[in-house]
Amino acid sequence: MKNAGAWMACALMAFALVMGWQALTLRYYTKFGPGSGFMPVWSSVLLFLLSAAYLWESLRRDVIRFRDILPEGKTLWRNVTILLAVLVFILIVPYTGFVAAGIVLLLAVFLFDFKWYAGLALSVTIILIFFYLFRTLLKVPLPVNALGW
Amino acid sequence: MDSFVQLLQGFATAGTWENLLYCTIGVTIGMLVGVLPGLGPTTVTALLLPLTFGLDPIPAIIMLAGIYYGSMYGGTITTVLINTPGEAASVITALDGYPMAKQGRAGTALGVAAIGSFVGGTLSVVGLAFVAPPLARLALEFGPAEFFALIVLGLSLIVGLMGKSLIRGLIAALFGFILSLIGQDPITGSLRWTFGQPHLMGGLDFVTIAIGMFGLSEILIAFEQKTEAGAKIAAKIKGLLPRREEWRPTIMSILRGTGIGFLIGLIPGSNTVIPNILSYTVEKRLAKDPPRFGKGAIEGVAGPETANNAYCGSALIPLFTLGIPSSPTIAILFGAFIMHGLTPGPTLMQTDADLVWAIIASMFIGNLILLIMNLPLAGMWARIALIPPRYLYPVVLIICIIGAYTVSNSLWDVGVMLVFGIIGYLFRKLDIPLAPVVLTFILGNLMETSMMQALIGFQGNFLGFFQRPISGTLLAVSILIIALSVYSNIRNRRNLLGGDAEE
């Protein structure tokens, strides 16, 4: 249960199974030669077999446990926060716009290393600089709210 | 002679104020990338690629290429001065560069590295200018079967060289290949693996995957690594040139490094670490007193530093002539070509010769700019490396999001970037190499299309590939390489070259 390599191998096998199952709905062969399902079927089968070999390797030869590769404590929480912050950004940016969502995102990351007011000041400064640099100077489209920011 | 005239025309194009500006921006960013530990050229090229949407193809690709070869210079400075390699290619330089700095010879180490980099970079661009056109003409004779075989050869080399486990290397390659098949089948037009999701009808975007796998995963890993508190610049920089008796061995190392780097760059699937290690090994073998190595031998800096810059120029040859990217960073440059409506390959030198020659000429200019930026400003660049990750990586996170969003102005791409960031992070933690994922992803469609076209010609007969001399030979070599990789894996002798280098 604690073997990270084995879990990854199982995830890859499941991925290969789903993709392979879907690939069977495609035409495998046509009168001109291989059809659109030819490569998907074979690549899924090969990935499944290799993942099975990886599972064997993970269990027998090269055991990598979660505790060996994943961080702990504050570092783990910081990484989880970064991922959640990106997810929150995706969810709120259509309503709040880039500036507000970006500040929330950066603040969540900065709070691990700075006092809230310093983190907020850094977040606001960086986002405003980026907004000006990309949207105004480089004309790069950014997700904005009804007010244009 | 033709090449010379076209090169002069390239200089005229690359020498315009706009292109010079983008070349300078590119090499400066490249220097920054090289200086900052963790941020590799692949990550930064992927991040900045979508931001070049608004530019013309020539300045955009000149800038992105500048990041690529510029990063090779920057890494040396931090390696020599604070013993922190900014990118994988500089790791070998640390063996003798840092001891030289501790002996008060940091200036000489940096001077020799900069001169070697300039000579290696420039000579390999000369090679690129004169080797690429005839090779492209030869490649025009290739049919789908030959292209398929060539791609298989390239991929077998990638898998053979990258990653500590062959199984994991192959899994990475297949994973990337499966991702490339998502969307419309290029021959019949039928939809594959779209799961009813309209966003997947056009397939996954390479840039989004690259930003997630390299950029976001890098942020997560960087926050886990403790910053080197108290890292100090080893010495003041003075006396940039070697002693009189050191000139001859230095020049010879530089020339050997150029040859090694140039030849390795021609091999698809190689990376910048390989010429470095080879050059270092050769220098040590040829030295009269090998025990000096590791204690501040000047050849240990001159050879490898020259080799990685010579590699950069020649690694573009397979891209320009065959349309095959030889490394992840070159794969992102491949993506830049596609994004700007250009198709890398044998026809590129005919249809967009002005662009190719402008890029080649810009590399001469870029190398000169880098030489000028390197020597007097080395101390300043080294201080940049001391920026704490807590300031740097939140900024990189925002660039990742903007870069992914810009691909199609859709939050879908930001979501895809997030998913591939997590996958990239887990892959890296489990020693599953990322390089084969991106290389097979970018080559997957081309490989499938050429295989299908060839099979239609062979009326479905797979043996047809072996009945044509070029494709048969290339496939036989691929099989041999894979067999050797399997053998070495079984004997558990995958060596130093087996590391996953980002470049």
pLDDT per residue as tens digits for the range B141-185: 788 898 889 888 877 777 655 567 788 988 999 999 999 999 988
Q: How far apart are CA B21 and CA B14, in angstroms?
A: 10
In a domain, B461, yes or no: yes
Contacts of B171 in chain A (CB under 8 A): 12, 47, 50-51, 54
Query: Do residue A134 and residue B51 have CB atoms under 8 angstroms apart?
Result: yes
Task: Looking at the complex, report in whole angstroms how far the Cα of residue B207 sits from the nearest Cα belonging to chain A.
Answer: 16
Question: What per-residue confidence (pLDDT) applies to B25?
Answer: 92
Is some CB atom of chain B closer than 8 A to the CB atom of A104? Answer: no
- Mean pLDDT, to the nearest integer, of B73-77? 79
pLDDT classification of B234: cutoffs 50, 70, 90: low
Same domain membership, residue A61 and residue A97:
no
C-alpha angle A66-A71-A76 in degrees, rounded to nearest 5: 115
CA-closest candidate to residue B215, choices B425, B26, B34, B37: B425
Is some CB atom of chain A closer than 8 A to the CB atom of B196? Answer: no
Dihedral angle sign, alpha carbons of residues B88, B90, B93, B97: negative
Is the pLDDT score of B498 beyond 50?
Answer: no
Query: Do residue A109 and residue B397 have CB atoms under 8 angstroms apart?
Result: yes
Mean pLDDT estimate for chain B: 83
Residue-number span of the structural domain to which B410 is assigned: 2-493
Instruction: Decide the pairing of beta strands B183-184 and A29-30.
Output: unpaired
Q: What pLDDT, in 10s, does the model give residues B193-227?
A: 988 888 898 889 888 898 899 889 988 988 887 54
Question: What per-residue confidence (pLDDT) applies to B497?
Answer: 47
Dihedral angle sign, alpha carbons of residues B357, B362, B365, B371: negative
Question: What per-residue confidence (pLDDT) applies to A147?
Answer: 84
Question: What per-residue confidence (pLDDT) applies to A53?
Answer: 94
- Mean pLDDT, to the nearest integer, of B84-99? 78
More confident residue, A61 or B425: B425
Q: How far apart are CA B58 and CA A27, in angstroms?
A: 42
Is the pLDDT score of B230 beyond 50?
Answer: no
Cα-based distances in Å from B75 to A142, B85, B129: 33, 6, 26
CA-closest candidate to residue A47, choices A4, A3, A7, A14: A14
Quote helix, strand, coil % in chain A, to nearest 5: 70, 5, 25
pLDDT classification of A33: cutoffs 50, 70, 90: confident
Contact B416, B208 (CB under 8 A): yes
Q: How far apart are CA B128 and CA B29, in angstroms?
A: 23
Contact B370, B27 (CB under 8 A): yes
In a domain, A57, yes or no: yes
Is the pLDDT score of B119 beyond 80?
Answer: yes
In a domain, A44, yes or no: yes
pLDDT classification of B496: cutoffs 50, 70, 90: very low
Question: What per-residue confidence (pLDDT) applies to B22?
Answer: 92
In a domain, A149, yes or no: no
Q: How far apart are CA B451 and CA B467, in angstroms?
A: 14
State which of A8-22, B35-49, B80-94 shows the largest mean pLDDT. Answer: A8-22
Is the pLDDT score of B191 beyond 50?
Answer: yes
More confident residue, A58 or B327: A58
In a domain, B502, yes or no: no
In a domain, A144, yes or no: no
Is the pLDDT score of B376 beyond 80?
Answer: no
Same domain membership, residue A41 and residue A85:
no
In a domain, B498, yes or no: no
Question: What per-residue confidence (pLDDT) applies to A20?
Answer: 94
The residue among A69, A95, A110 that closes a domain is: A69
Q: At what angle do helices B328-339 and B41-48 cross, to 10 degrees?
A: 10
Contacts of A102 in chain B (CB under 8 A): 398, 401
In a domain, A111, yes or no: yes
Residue A34 forms beta bridges with which residues?
A29
In a domain, A55, yes or no: yes
Question: What per-residue confidence (pLDDT) applies to B415?
Answer: 96
Same domain membership, residue A128 and residue A78:
yes
The two tokens of residue B237 are 């920089």
Identify the DSSP state of B237. Answer: -
In chain B, what percentage of residues exceed pLDDT 70? 90
In a domain, B15, yes or no: yes
Q: How far apart are CA A131 and CA B1, in angstroms?
A: 49
Q: What stretch of H or E contains B180?
A: helix B166-181
Cα-based distances in Å from A92 to A96, B153, B253, B344: 6, 46, 57, 40
CA-closest candidate to residue B263, choices B279, B283, B284: B279
Q: How many domains does chain B have?
A: 1
Q: How many domains does chain A have?
A: 2
In a domain, B501, yes or no: no
Same domain membership, residue A59 and residue A77:
no
The two tokens of residue B414 are 């930001």
Question: What per-residue confidence (pLDDT) applies to A19?
Answer: 94
Q: How far apart are CA B88 and CA B99, in angstroms?
A: 19
* Dihedral, B371, B376, B382, B384 alpha carbons, nearest 10: -90
pLDDT classification of B374: cutoffs 50, 70, 90: confident
Residue A137 forms beta bridges with which residues?
none
In a domain, A93, yes or no: yes
Is the pLDDT score of A123 beyond 50?
Answer: yes
The widest CA-to-CA distance across chain B, in whole angstroms, is: 71
Residue-number span of the structural domain to which A11 is assigned: 4-69
Q: How far apart are CA A140 and CA A149, in angstroms?
A: 13
In a domain, B279, yes or no: yes
Same domain membership, residue A22 and residue A65:
yes
Is some CB atom of chain A closer than 8 A to the CB atom of B51? Answer: yes
In a domain, A36, yes or no: yes
Is some CB atom of chain B closer than 8 A to the CB atom of A70? Answer: yes
In a domain, B144, yes or no: yes
The residue among A40, A69, A98 that closes a domain is: A69
Is the pLDDT score of B501 beyond 60?
Answer: no
Same domain membership, residue A8 and residue A62:
yes
Q: Rounded to the nearest 5°, which phi and psi values hold at B191?
A: -85, 140
Is some CB atom of chain A closer than 8 A to the CB atom of B192? Answer: yes
DSSP for B250-286, written as a single string: HHHHHHHHHHHHHHHHTSTT--THHHHHHHHHHHHHH
Question: What per-residue confidence (pLDDT) applies to B228?
Answer: 46
Contacts of B422 in chain A (CB under 8 A): 83
Is some CB atom of chain B closer than 8 A to the CB atom of A105? Answer: yes
CA-closest candidate to residue B475, choices B485, B464, B486: B464
More confident residue, A16 or B215: A16
In a domain, B421, yes or no: yes
